Amino acid sequence: MLRFLTAGESHGKGLVTIIDNFPAGVKIDGDFIDGKLALRQSGYGRGARQKIETDKIEFLSGVRGGYTTGSPISFFLKNKDYENWKERMDNYKPFSEETKIHVPRPGHADFAGSLKYALDDIRNVLERSSARETASRVAVGAMCQALLKNFGIEFASAVIGIGGMGEINAPNRRRQLKTSENTKKAGDHVFKSNNLDLFDEIISANIHNSELRLPFPGLEKKIRLLIDEAKKQGDTVGGVFEVQVKNVPVGLGSYIQWDEKLDGHIAMSCMSIQAIKSVEIGAGVISSSIKGSDYQDSIFYNKAAGRYFRKTNNAGGIEGGMSNGEVIAVRCAMKPLPTLMKPYLNTVNLKTKKDEKAFPERSDICAVPAASIVGEAAVAYSIALFFLKKFGGDSLTEIKRNYDGYIRQISGAA
Where do the domains of the chain lie? 3-163+196-282+317-413
* Mean pLDDT within 116-140: 97
Question: What distance in Å separates the CA atoms of residue 77 and residue 50, rounded to the nearest whole number?
Answer: 14
pLDDT band at 167 (very low <50, low <70, confident <90, very high): low
Q: Cα separations (Å) of 291 from 174, 288, 298?
A: 11, 8, 14
- The per-residue pLDDT for 54 is 87
Tell me: the pLDDT tens digits for 246-260? 999 999 999 999 999
- 3-state SS, residue 213: coil
> What digits encode the pLDDT tens for the residues 177-232?
333 333 333 333 333 445 689 999 999 999 999 999 999 999 999 999 999 999 99
Name the pLDDT band for 126 (thresholds 50, 70, 90).
Answer: very high
Give the C-alpha separation, 368 to 349, whole Å: 31
Q: What is the mean pLDDT of residues 338-345?
A: 81
The pLDDT tens digits of the residues spanning 282-333 come to 999 999 999 999 999 999 999 888 889 999 999 999 999 999 999 999 999 9
Q: Among 28-32, 110-114, 195-199, 309-313, name the one with the lowest average pLDDT.
A: 195-199
CA 4 to chain centre: 16
Q: 146 and 59 in contact (C-beta within 8 Å)?
A: no
pLDDT, tens only, 40-71: 999 998 765 555 668 999 999 999 999 999 99
Is pLDDT of 1 > 70?
yes
pLDDT of residue 204: 96
Report which of 181, 215, 213 is spatially closest to residue 196, judged by C-alpha positions: 215
pLDDT of residue 21: 98
Q: Are 310 and 191 in contact (CB under 8 A)?
A: no
Q: Kind of pairing, strands 239-246 and 67-68?
A: unpaired
pLDDT at residue 384 tops 60: yes
- How many Å apart are CA 212 and CA 107, to the nearest integer? 24
Looking at 3.60.150.10, 3.40.50.720, 3.40.50.880, 3.90.650.10, the CATH number of the domain 3-163+196-282+317-413 comes to 3.60.150.10
**pLDDT (tens digit per residue) in 134-163:** 999 999 999 999 999 999 999 999 999 999
The whole-number pLDDT of residue 190 equals 37
Specify the pLDDT at position 411: 80
> 342-383: per-residue pLDDT in tens?
767 899 999 999 999 998 776 799 999 999 999 999 999 999
pLDDT at 51: 58
- How far the first Cα of the chain sits from its last, in Å, is 31
Q: How far is it, in rounded angstroms, from Cα 356 to Cα 244? A: 44
- 3-class DSSP state for residue 111? helix
Q: What is the pLDDT of residue 53?
A: 64
For 246, phi then psi, to 5°, come to -120, 160
What DSSP string describes 31-75?
HHHHHHHHHHT-STT--THHHH-----EEEESEETTEE-SSPEEE
CB atoms within 10 A of CB 226: 21
d(CA 354, CA 118): 19
User: Within 13 Å, how many C-alpha atoms sit on residue 321's CB side?
Assistant: 12
pLDDT score recorded for residue 191: 37
Whole-structure pTM value: 0.92
At residue 412 the predicted structure's pLDDT band, cuts being 50, 70 and 90, is: low
CA max distance for the chain: 74
